[in-house]
């Protein structure tokens, strides 16, 4: 695992795209590794969620989603960032999606799905005046993956259009802050490590697998053991973890380990042996392999 670098190296790549209405879109690209996109998206979705909207824009259609409260889930599983609210959820591929415990996703498909280009943009009208600001992501096929709409000084909170001479330019603060950090590299990323790579233990609670319906004692045992060991590991629940009929299932994100047929006693061993000592529990691993030290 590479060391986290809180300084972004500028790409110095700016492009301009003409629009059919006579305007243009100015793009300023920035790096799209998970140690850049992770802190950026964590900031937007966990800390500045009141200020942004998520969307998808194609000719003839625009989707816009807004937060009414902080998301209840924001984490990476098998390459995909999942952001979930009470009303909706989205997925965005930040790193290679390997395809579960068997790594069944073909290499070429992994490359296509992952973010391959990221840009901060400004849209200008035919007179050259900026009208919207945001972030755009493309996949390996250069298809539009997702747009994040940043605060617009030309709009009121009720989405009413303001005269240009009455625009609230203070709303550009987030755009300028992100540009300084991620495009120009003039300011450091405001984290000492990637906040979306914080390790977690996930307990499957999917009703598709009867044994996994007994997830509560497993969750409680893991939570207690992690707290007692004073580990910086989150304990969460999730939907299907792709190992059906062998539940209860526990997934550890730190080294992509799946455990099957977990009991509260096994949960305690996962924390005491695997997380604390680096020794996996061979008899519960999936796919089955010989026990090995994760420190090797």
pLDDT in tens, 26-40: 999 999 999 999 999
Q: Mind listing the pLDDT tens digit for each residue in 155-176?
A: 887 777 778 778 889 999 999 9
Give the model's confidence band at 243: pLDDT under 50 very low, under 70 low, under 90 confident, else very high.
confident
Which range of residues forms the domain containing residue 68? 14-183
Residue 291: pLDDT above 70?
no
pLDDT at 2 over 80: no
**Other CB atoms within 10 Å distance of the CB of residue 148:** 20
The whole-angstrom separation of Cα 257 and Cα 251 is 6
- Inside any domain, residue 81: yes
| Mean pLDDT estimate for the chain | 93
Q: What is the pTM of this model?
A: 0.91
Total domain count for the chain?
A: 2
**N-to-C CA span, the chain:** 13
Same domain, 163 and 209: no
Q: How many CA atoms lie within 13 A of 35 on its CB side?
A: 12
Last residue of a domain, one of 130, 153, 183: 183
Mean pLDDT of 11-20: 96
What average pLDDT score do residues 221-230 get?
97
pLDDT band (50, 70, 90) for residue 25: very high
Q: What is the pLDDT of residue 296?
A: 46
Could you tell me if residue 292 is inside a domain? no
Buried b (16+ CB within 10 A) or exposed e, 253-281: beeebbbbebeeebbbbbbeebbeeebbb
Same domain, 31 and 60: yes
Nearest to 133, CA basis, from 115, 118, 120 = 120
- Tell me, yes or no, whether 193 lies in a domain: no
Q: What is the pLDDT of residue 1?
A: 52
The three-point CA angle 92-95-100 to 5° equals 90
Please state, as a whole number, how many other Cβ atoms lie within 10 Å of the Cβ of residue 212.
24
């Amino acid at each position: 695992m590479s060391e986290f670098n809180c300084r972004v190296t500028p790409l110095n790549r700016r492009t301009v795209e003409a629009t059919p209405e006579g305007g243009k879109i100015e793009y300023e690209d920035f790096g799209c590794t998970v140690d850049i996109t992770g802190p950026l998206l964590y900031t937007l979705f966990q800390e500045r969620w009141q200020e942004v909207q998520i969307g998808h824009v194609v000719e003839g259609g625009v989707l816009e989603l807004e937060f009414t409260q902080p998301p209840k889930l924001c984490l990476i599983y098998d390459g995909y960032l999942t952001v979930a609210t009470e009303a909706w959820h989205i997925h965005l591929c930040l790193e290679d999606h390997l395809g579960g415990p068997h790594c069944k996703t073909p290499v070429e498909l992994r490359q296509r799905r992952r973010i391959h280009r990221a840009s901060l943009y400004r849209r200008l009208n035919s007179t050259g005046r900026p009208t919207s600001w945001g972030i755009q992501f493309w996949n390996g096929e250069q298809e539009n993956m997702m747009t994040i709409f940043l605060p617009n000084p030309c709009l009121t909170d009720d989405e009413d259009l303001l005269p240009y001479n009455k625009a609230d330019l203070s709303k550009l603060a987030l755009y300028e802050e992100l540009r300084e950090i991620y495009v120009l590299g003039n300011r450091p990323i405001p984290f000492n490590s990637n906040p979306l790579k914080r390790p977690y233990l996930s307990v499957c609670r999917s009703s598709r697998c009867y044994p996994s319906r007994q997830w509560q004692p497993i969750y409680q045992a893991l939570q207690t053991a992690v707290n007692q060991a004073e580990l910086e590991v989150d304990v969460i629940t999730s939907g299907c973890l792709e190992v059906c009929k062998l539940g209860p299932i526990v997934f550890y994100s730190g080294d992509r380990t799946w455990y099957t047929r977990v009991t509260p006693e096994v949960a305690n061993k996962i924390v005491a042996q695997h997380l604390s000592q680096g020794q996996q529990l061979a008899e519960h691993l999936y796919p089955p392999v010989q026990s090995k030290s994760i420190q090797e």
